[in-house]
Amino acid sequence: MSQRQLEIRELTPEAFAPFGEIVRPVRTGGQAAPAGDHAMSEDDAKLVLDGGVPRLWIMQLPHVGLKFSHIARHRRVTQCLGSLQGQEWFISVAPPCDPDDRARPRLDDIVAFRIPPNVIIKLHVGTWHAGPHVADPGALFVNLEHADTNEIDNQGVDLGVECRYRIPQ
């Protein structure tokens, strides 16, 4: 199988905007804080969870390495992912396209991001993604999606090439 090296991009709101949103910690005064301290803001992730039963769960991932040859998308729901162990991780994404279109993403459209500790990402509906990937032996991830996402809303394709993360030293 041929190989393709993916340069790691810096995770910024502008760079990630075509694929999703970044959820970063927001300082609050805690439970006793004034009501406005917990108010929603324009910076909050825009979730799409209607049309199914939301599922918040913890994925226990084995070490799968920093490579992939398969990519998938969910056409009915946003998906939120974040490390629960304070470690950096990697994800590769391609922009969403028409949810009724059975086309596959173009290899040139797949980009990779390093996700820093204590950050959650929200993928737009239909965003193609491979990951999460970690360099560690395994990891725990929080995952918010529909309860049946992987059974009825998981369109995956084989890329025909092995994509590898090029991690700068």
Q: Please tell me the total count of domains within the chain.
A: 1
Residue 37 lies in a domain: no
Choice between 40 and 90, residue whose per-residue pLDDT is larger: 90
**Segment 103-120 mean pLDDT:** 95
Q: Establish if 38 belongs to a structural domain.
A: no
In percent, how much of the chain has pLDDT > 90?
Answer: 76
Structural domain including 8 reads 3-24+49-166
Pick the range with the lowest mean pLDDT from 34-48, 58-72, 103-117: 34-48
In a domain, 10, yes or no: yes
The mean pLDDT value of the chain amounts to 92
Mean predicted confidence (pLDDT) in 19-47: 81
Q: What is the 3-state secondary structure of the chain? A: CCEEEEEEECCCHHHHCCCEEEECCCCCCCCCCCHHHHCCCCCCCCCCCCCCCEEEEEEEEECCCCEEEEEEECCCCCEEEEECCCCCEEEEEECCCCCCCCCCCCHHHCEEEEECCCCEEEECCCCEEEEEECCCCEEEEEEEEECCHHHHCCEEEEEEEEEEEECCC
Q: pTM value?
A: 0.93
Where residue 56 sits, what CATH number does that domain have? 2.60.120.480
- Within a domain: residue 104? yes
